[in-house]
Structure 1
Amino acid sequence: MPAVGVVRSYERAWLPKDVVAGLVLSALLVPQGMAYAELAGLPPVTGLYTSVLCLLGYAVFGPSRVLVLGPDSSLGPMIAATIAPLLLADGDPARAVALASMLAVMVGVVMVVAGVARFGFVADLLSKPTQIGYMNGLALTIVIGQLAKLFGFSVDADGLVAEARAFLSGLADGEANATAAVLGVGSLVGILLLNQLLPKLPSVLIVVVLAAVLVNGFDLESRDVDTVGVLPQGFPPFTVPAVSWGDLPPLFVGALAIAVVALADTMSTASAFAARKGDRVRGNQEMVGIGAANIAAGVFQGFPVSTSGSRTAVAEQAGSRSQVTGIVGAGMITMVLVFATSLMQYVPQPTLGAIVIAAALSLADMTGTRRLWHQRRTEFALSIVALLGVALLGVLPGILVAVGLSILNVFRRAWWPHQAELGRVEGIAGLHDTDSYPDAQLLRGLVVYRFDAPLIFANARMFSEKVREIAADDPGLRWIIVAAEPITDVDTTASDMLQDLDAWLNARGVSLVFAELKHPVREKIERYELTRTINPEHFHPTLDEAVAAYVRQTDASWRSPQPEADDGGSRR
């Protein structure tokens, strides 16, 4: 419970700054909480319940003094995608709340168990390119899904393509409400302009207040502009979510996906803000803190939450010094629920849609996408596939696609690693890739070969075929030195391959020699009894020593590569 340490080390001078930051934060959390609740397909008031409990839960169990948790735009579609198939035909709001609350509890339990078991590395399952693609796809999905609300009507469609088609059909059929559209588009433009021109001002709060004043002052409800209405007064009681046993398996699948996204988002945000202050990120404790926040929200009619980079930035800019900021924010939202629920009654639904769209646009990372295009096309392709997975298959399948692509990318690098033949370059120490330095000097009868990956079952055949190809291409070959520093492992499949390969090379008068093999890998070589086949003298601690041993044995000298002879003779 990191809160104990906060209490012991808390300085009185921090309190005014934490209170101010908490007040500023609550002004942002109220409208965003309601908007993200509707994004998840839930009543707006549940966003306020969620905000209060997650702030309190993280204040007690969360290790970071600056992170702010709450309803998040990236989780809203995932929550909706998980609970929508389980709802009855009439879409009972009470059942939706129960399902979302159980989902929050399950996410919390998964996170706490994973944190206690020290599974913080799970956040690495989403590589940066696939995370960029996933977020871009999510942003596109959210924007398309909110367009109808922005223009004052609703559509009955599921999926990006279907929702886009239904929105365009609604516009063509004249279903849009002109007044609502002006209010919604104006709210969106206002938020984006304020964020750009006056980033320190609470743009969402300003736009919400102005929109509510317009609705009330000009009686826009009479023009069919939907509003939030008066929220239920009071705070919800402690409630164990009531769902059927048949609901649990699909909820658990959704909980796992949400947990991965929430953890990846939290770790990236925590790392960014910790780097500014020179703090250390405690990944496993972060999982426990997020888990506790989700459980607390779930047992008070809330839904899953994550860290918000934008709200964390707001709290930091307002002077936040500790988790007390979150406690103050939770207290202010509670006061709204108990004493001032009528304040929300004139907030127009198109403005809530504008809030969600503005948040979705901040999820998109076009700069990162362009950087991938210029720096590494394969990773750009991965991000595009992840985007299409979310956009075309749906949010939950999309996260599975993103995780699967990240894992496959790791496997691909081990399966098809970079390989190189090395030579000496005048004026540069060491040996270097002959593809990069075609004029590198070589030793007759020797090939220095580097394999940049662990030697395992997936790439053992590739290694063997490449070495056999090298031997077949050079009739005068005597040694193949494997620059083995990048080889961090040798499994049993690769061990059997090396045994067969060495026997094949020996039959042709070629020695297989290893240089710079790491000690743990050398121990495995000896455990596999490979030294009965490969001469123990053919293991050298450095590449220079291995080359020197070959020179002593053959009196060979370095020479520039020669063009291939007309009779097919050796180039070395």
Structure 2
Amino acid sequence: MEPSGWRAYVPGAELARSYQRSWLPKDIVAGLVLSALLVPQGMAYAQLAGLPPVTGLYTSILCLLGYAVFGPSKVLVLGPDSSLGPMIAATLAPLLLANGDPARAIALASMLALMVGVVMVVAGLARFGFVADLLSKPTQIGYMNGLALTIVVGQLAKLFGFSIDADGLLAELKAFVSGLADGKANTTAAIIGVCSLAGILLLNRFLPKLPSVLIVVVLAAVVVGAFDLQSHGVDTVGVLPEGFPPFTIPHVSWDDVPPLFIGALAIAVVALADTMSTASAFAARRGERVRGNQEMVGIGTANLAAGLFQGFPVSTSGSRTAVAEQAGSKSQLTGVVGAATITAVLLFATSVMQYVPQPTLGAIVIAAALSLADVAGTRRLWKQRKTEFWLSIAALLGVALLGVLPGILIAIALSILNVFRRTWWPHETELGRVAGIAGLHDIESHPDADLLPGLVVYRFDAPLIFANARMFGEKVREIAEDDPDLQWIIVAAEPITDVDTTASDMLHELDEWLNERGISLVFAEMKDPVREKIERYELTSTIDPRHFLPTVDEAVAEYVRQTGAAWRAPVRPSDGDG
């Protein structure tokens, strides 16, 4: 049973009350395993966002603690995410000068996290969980593919041991190629980076249960330390700042607020869509139900906690969640153990990261980006529905060519336009009787269906609104003009879920036009809420109330009773040839 009262908003309190002792060993082991992934990934994704590596650890600690108290899922793991890193960087970059002050970058990122947190918490309390539906599956696939491409290109220079000064996919790709041509790559660093990437990918492919990222990081650090590769120009993370992150209220200027807020809205939508899809997948495997609105509160609280301790926006991680589940995680305590382990590193073992090479962090980010790409999903869209394939490609190009933030806005706009397109140009057809099949059916699928002379049964598969009212009216007039013997047009109205005022005016004019030609407009299977609107619009003063019948079969039977018509096979032009 779902918790009630205040416990519904603080799932961590309910967990503390119902926690089972048998879970503790598994949660501790899973938390320790998880922390081995959180430390290198947290640092790598912080750099992806344009921030110091240690802020990734600060963020990981606080978001895990915040979600443990307010997050409803027992298995989801939050933290720095590869899909949000470019969005954070794209939001902060215009607000920072070249080689901007790291302290200002941290303040801006923390304020961004606070804004994301407020947006998510308010939206969750207002039950706006449906916002995740703004991103359709095809546009999600395109967005993620574009994001993966952008991330990979942006990390290539770091993988080869040099840096570039460029912004945007094409500019970064050109700068990377020019850098290689000019000999800027560090051979030693490139070998480490490429080997690290190959190691992660091969371990993930052939030994997926092993912590590939941890293994590669440890081996790379050992090699760098043992052979003093820093003296050969290999950049490393260095010694981390010691201590737990202090409570800090970020200070930014009022001029920074509007662009930060726009970025926060985009990040919130992506984080929510990612969380809902991940939560649904894992909940289905565990036989649990997703609490969408409370997930928003949990994610929001995690971002608020991170933002108050020098962190940046976070989201759910599918890969880290999978690691926790495979390690036997039973509850949110896994995240608490992970946070405690990272805290211990910051307090007592900051020097353990001093030999971790920067190219290896670049390899971690590239490996994560490759996992974001969904080539199989794109191929499936091409086979199943070309329109949605091109929507996916448009979203990909929007992210890759215009940038991450414009790309997510394009993805949302494309999703909404796709819905509108289906309403604007819905499927519509005429129906006939098919031998051996009950009911009436699409004559396009069944061209040999029998018809009744003087009658057309017309189905329109969409709500009747301003966008398609003209199309509906023109189609009905076309039907009337094509058949001089037409007496009735029965509209199979079950798919029509709404009629707005524009459509009402159209129906009024259409019925009068048909009446002048001796043709009756009849509606069958109209839903009660739609019928109520028809009466409120006073359309029944024009359309005969007797022309609203409960089913299509009854409407057809009434026509047969009044006219004595009999079913017959369709007449084709060739039927009359000698």
- Who is 2:14 aligned against? 5
Structure 1 Cα separation of the partners of residues 248 and 390 of structure 2: 46
In structure 2, the residue matched to 1:224 is 233
Letter in 1 for 2:476: V
Q: Deviations over 1:195-228 (max 9, x none)?
A: 0111111000000000000000111101100000
Please state if 1:366 is matched with 2:375: yes
Question: 1:513 and 2:522 equivalent?
Answer: yes
1:492 maps to 2:537: no
Deviation at 1:277, TM superposition (A): 1.1
Return 424-433 or 350-359, whichever deviates more: 424-433
**Match 2:337 to one of 328, 335, 343:** 328
Please show how residues 332-411 of structure 1 align to structure 2 within 5 Å.
332-411=341-420
- The answer to whether structure 1 residue 309 and structure 2 residue 334 are counterparts is no
Query: Match for 1:207 among 192, 208, 216?
Result: 216
Counterpart of 2:489 (choices 480, 483, 504) is 480
Report the residue type matching 1:134 in the other structure: Y
Q: What CA distance in whole angstroms lies between the structure 1 residues aligned with 2:562 and 2:568?
A: 17
Residue 77 of structure 1 aligns with an amino acid whose one-letter code is: P
Q: 1:420 aligns with which of 429, 436, 439?
A: 429
Distance 2:14 2:355 in 1: 43
Task: Report sequence identity in percent.
Answer: 82
Are positions 1:94 and 2:103 aligned together? yes
Deviation at 1:61, TM superposition (A): 0.4
Secondary structure in 2 matching 1:559 = coil
Residues paired across the two proteins, number: 568
Q: Which residue of 2 aligns with 1:558?
A: 567
Tell me, in whole angstroms, the C-alpha distance in 1 between the residues paired with 2:273 and 2:572.
53
Q: What SS does the aligned partner of 2:440 have?
A: strand
Q: Note the residue ranges of structure 2 that are not aligned, 5 or more in a row.
A: 1-9
Deviating 4+ runs (over 6 angstroms): 565-568
1:139-170 deviation line (CA, Å, top 9, x unaligned): 00000000000000011000000000000000
Give CA-to-partner distance per residue, 1:457-508, whole Å, 9 cap, x none: 1100000000000000000000000000000000111011001000000000
> Partner letter of residue 321 of structure 2?
T
Unaligned ranges ≥5, structure 1: none
Alpha-carbon deviations, 1:381-439, whole Å to 9, x = none? 00000000000000000000000000000111111000000111111111111111111
Counterpart check, 1:262 vs 2:271: yes
Match of 2:84 in 1: 75
- Aligned equivalents of 1:430, 1:368: Cα separation in 2: 37
What's the secondary structure of 1:489's corresponding residue? Answer: coil
Residue 164 of structure 2 corresponds to: 155
Give the Cα separation in 1 of the matches to 2:287 and 2:499: 38
Which stretch of structure 1 is more off in the superposition, 323-332 or 427-436?
427-436
State the shift of 1:528 in Å.
0.8
Deviation, structure 1 residue 562? 0.8
SS at match of 1:513: strand
Query: Which residue of structure 2 lines up, in the alignment, with residue 23 of structure 1?
Result: 32
- Corresponding residue for 1:280? 289
Shift of 1:235: 1.1
Q: Which amino acid aligns with 2:474?
A: E
2:190 matched residue in structure 1: 181
Aligned residue identity for 1:293: A
- Per the TM alignment, residue 290 of structure 1 is displaced from its structure 2 partner at its CA by 0.2
Note the alpha carbon deviations across 1:237-284, whole angstroms, 9 max, x for none.
100001111000000000000000000000000000000111110000
Offset of residue 88 of structure 1: 2.4
Which segment is superposed worse, 432-441 or 396-405?
432-441
| Structure 2: distance between partners of 1:273 and 1:241 | 35
Q: State yes or no: 1:527 paired with 2:536.
A: yes
Rounded to whole Å, the distance in 2 between the matches of 1:444 and 1:567 is 17
Give me the whole-angstrom Cα distance separating, in 2, the residues matched to 1:233 and 1:158: 33
Cα drift, residue 566 of structure 1: 10
Q: Secondary structure at the match of 1:443?
A: coil
Please provide the CA RMSD for this pair. 1.0
Distance (whole Å) between structure 2 residues aligned to residue 565 and residue 13 of structure 1? 79
1:40 aligns with 2:52: no
> Per the alignment, in what secondary structure is the counterpart of residue 438 of structure 2?
strand
Residue aligned with 1:41, SS: coil
Q: Which residue of 1 aligns with 2:5?
A: none
Return the letter of the residue paired with 1:544. D
How many Å apart are 1:563 and its aligned residue?
1.5
Q: Give CA deviations for 1:286-310 in whole Å, capped at 9, x if unaligned.
A: 0000000000000100000000000
Q: 2: CA distance between counterparts of 1:260 and 1:565?
A: 57
Q: Does 1:54 align with 2:77?
A: no
> In structure 1, what is the equivalent of residue 251 of structure 2?
242
